[in-house]
Structures are given as structure tokens and as C-alpha cells.
Amino acid sequence: MSQKRVIAVVVTARPSYSRVKTVLEAINQHPDLELKLIVAASALLDRYGSAVNYIEKDGFKIAAKVFNVLEGENLAAAAKTTGIGILELSSVFDNLKPDIVVTVADRFETMATAIAASYMNIPLAHIQGGEVTGNIDEKVRHAITKLADYHFVASESAKERVIKLGEDSKMVFNTGCPSIDLASDILNSKQLSFDPYEKYGGVGARPDLAKGYLVVMQHPVTNEYKDSRKHIEVTLEAIYKLNKTTLWFWPNVDAGADGTSTGIRAFREQHQLPNVHFFKNMEGKDFLELLMHSDCLIGNSSVGIRECAFLGIPVVNIGSRQNRRDRGGNSVDVNYSQQEIEEAIITAVQKGSTSPSFIYGNGSAGKKIADLLADVPLQFHKTIVY
């Protein structure tokens, strides 16, 4: 009689949860797998949207909570957050004794998961390696590739890149991105099925959404963190000037998050924004439905590059954060320039929705990943192929 494989998945932020939700579901449903879900870092914190609340509401059982975010708007704090993460996660792994640890994407603190697992000789799976963005996230992402034993990548170009990085091609799997799984569920939505103001509160005006609306989500960029306030102000000015109905989402935690947040807060104190509402967070599926019926997404979220490509939603992508990520035909890139942003929004809204792109998969990534986790050989010893 075979025993279930214990799969520990570490979720450290709200967007990472949205990204792997269908993986978690598929692991839970797989007869040969047992999920141990570890929630850590900003996913636990009220300031960053308490992803943990959604996780619990979605019915997932949490095996361990790891508080490791060290406060301080500086880069040393990001490093120390990672150090504390290693201290804590190695104890958690020691208790849970997983057969495989799964780490997601490229946030700085995911390195803690990768180090704790690989140093403890636990096979490590990495979701979403091989992509290119050109900042510290990229250093982290490719370094994790070199620590990981299995690679569940989201596109063909990512697969090729991971193999070029010297990984054994038998351990590199293009599963598509699990975030597309969620998107495929709402492809047929004809109209918003909920009132976002009522369901999610938030602050600011509550303009009528019936005649169309913009969505803004702009995160600080790690290696430009000193400029994060200036960058957000450019976008704020553009939106203020356009004066269209707009739904704005607060950023995640990052070395510069306080710059971005402070910028938004200060702008709100100094300006009347009669057509802008601010949300702190939203469940992934509701967020996608909101995007589905929007005129345009503005900012630098990977959702614009990924889910919106699949859904055919116009996107104005600002700055360097998504640099060199594979694009569908739905997005246009602009600099931190008020004029460029304004013009790009106007053009995008006029053009309207585009045809769907499958570069990030077709909506079955969660199930594919779970099947692979049940099937790959358990190994933590590897060597570069060249």
C-alpha cells in the first residue's frame, strides 16, 4: 500500500496565493498527495491584505504560519526578512517532514524557502522559473532555479531558458501558469456578479461602474525603491487628469512599499478624486472578473501580462517591472511619464478587448502540477548538464 506524498507549499504574499490557488486545490484532490500549506511573510499581515483570511475562507487548512517580515523601509530589512524566514522555515520543515517543498515565483523572501529546503536535502519544486524581468526579482528567480530540482514553468520560452541554465530537461515541465486556470473560469462572465464596494469596502469615491472603468495596480520596483514615490505620483497625476471612473489597488509589501503607499496617501490628502475608489485587496477570482469587465488595466502587475493576455483585456504596462516577460497582443509598454500613460490609456480604451493568447497556458496548470508532484522521482541531488 502506497503512502501519500507530503507536499509543503509556502505562500508568502497575496499575489502568490492567487497564482497557486488551483495548484493547492489540485493537490488536495489528488489521491496520492497530502497538502501542508505554510503561510508566511506579508500573506499574514493586515497591511498587505491578509491573504491568510482568503486562504482560510477558501477552505484550506494551514499547517504553519511563519511571521518573518522585519519592519523598516530599507534593503537590509529585506535581507533580514529572508534570514528570519530561513530560521523559521527550517524548523517548520523539520516538523512537517515534507517529501517535496514547493516555492512560488521570485519574491525576495521565497529564497528563504528555497534555501531551507535545499540545505535540508528536501526535493524542491519551483513554479514560474525561467522568466525575464531584469531586476532583483530576476537574480532571485534564476538563483532559485539553480537550487530547485523540479521546474514547473509557465511558457515555452521559460522552459527553454531553464534548460539553458543547465537544468536537466527531464525535470523542466511547461505546465502553463496556474493563474490562467482561475482566468479560464470567468471567460464566460457576462457582467460583474458582485458589487465591489459592498463586498470589499475600501475608501474614496464610489463612482458608477456601469459605463466602464479603469483598474490601477502599481507595485514598487525593488531596485528602484528610492523612486517608488515619484513613480506612483506620475501615475496618480495621469489618472487625476483623465478623471475617469477608476478602481485603484494598494501595493504589496516590498522594500519600497511605504514609498508607494505614502505617495498614494499624500496625493489623496491633497487632491479631490471624485471618480477614484481604493481597494486594499480582493479575492483573486473577483479581481479577474473585475478586470474582465474593465476598460483597461494600468500599472506594472504581472496580471496584465499573464491573465489579461489570456482574457484579452487591454493593459498599459508602466516601467521596468515586467521587462522582457513574454507578451500577448493585449499590452502596451510605457515609461514613467504622465503623458505617455495618459495617451496609452486613451488608445487602449478606444481599441477595446483583444483576442486571447495561450502563451501562459490553457487553464489546466494546477492539475498538471499536482500530477507531476505525485509522479517525479524524489531526488535532491543534481548536477549541471554541461
Footprint of a second copy on 36-65 (CB under 8 A): 44-47, 64-65
121 belongs to the binding site for a second copy (CB under 8 A): yes
Cα–Cα distance, 368 to 293 (Å, whole number): 29
156 binds a second copy (CB under 8 A): no
Among 7, 9, 55, 84, binds a second copy (CB under 8 A): 84
Contact flag: residue 163 with a second copy (CB under 8 A): no
Residues 241-300 that bind a second copy (CB under 8 A): 258, 262, 269
The residue (of 276 and 296) whose beta carbon lies closer to a second copy is 276
Closer residue to a second copy (CB): 2 or 383:
383
By CB under 8 A, name the one of 11, 26, 78, 296 that touches a second copy. 78
3-state secondary structure of 251: coil
Tell me whether residue 257 or residue 288 sits nearer to a second copy (CB atom).
Answer: 257
For residue 69, what is its C-alpha cell? Answer: 517580515
Site for a second copy in 3-32 (CB under 8 A): none
- Least separation in angstroms between CB 151 and a second copy: 14
What nine digits make up the cell of 377?
522521482
Q: How many CB atoms lie within 10 A of CB 31?
A: 7
Three-class secondary structure of residue 154 per DSSP: coil
Residue 223 binds a second copy, judged by CB under 8 A = yes
Q: Left (φ > 0), alpha (ψ -120 to 50) or beta: where does 130 sit? A: left
Residue 386 CB neighbours (<10 A): 4
Of the candidate spans 14-22, 136-144, 186-194, 305-313, the one that interacts with a second copy by CB under 8 A turns out to be 136-144
- Number of residues engaging a second copy in binding (CB under 8 A): 75
Query: How would DSSP label each residue in 5-39?
Result: EEEEEEE-SHHHHHHHHHHHHHHHH-TTEEEEEEE
Which strands form 5-11's sheet, in the order they lie side by side?
62-66, 33-40, 5-11, 100-104, 124-127, 150-153, 172-174
Q: Shortest distance, CB of residue 305 to a second copy, whole angstroms?
A: 16
- Taking CB under 8 A as the rule, does residue 326 contact a second copy? no
Name residue 319's amino acid. Answer: G
**Is 375 in contact with 323 (CB distance < 8 Å)?**
no
146 binds a second copy (CB under 8 A): yes
> Residue 247's beta-bridge partner residues?
215, 277
| Using rule CB under 8 A, residue 206 touches a second copy | no
Cell 471612473: give the residue: 245
Q: Contact with a second copy (CB under 8 A): which of 68, 179, 275, 330?
A: 68
Nearer Cβ to a second copy (86/105): 86
Which CB atom, from 83 or from 312, has the smaller least distance to a second copy? Answer: 83
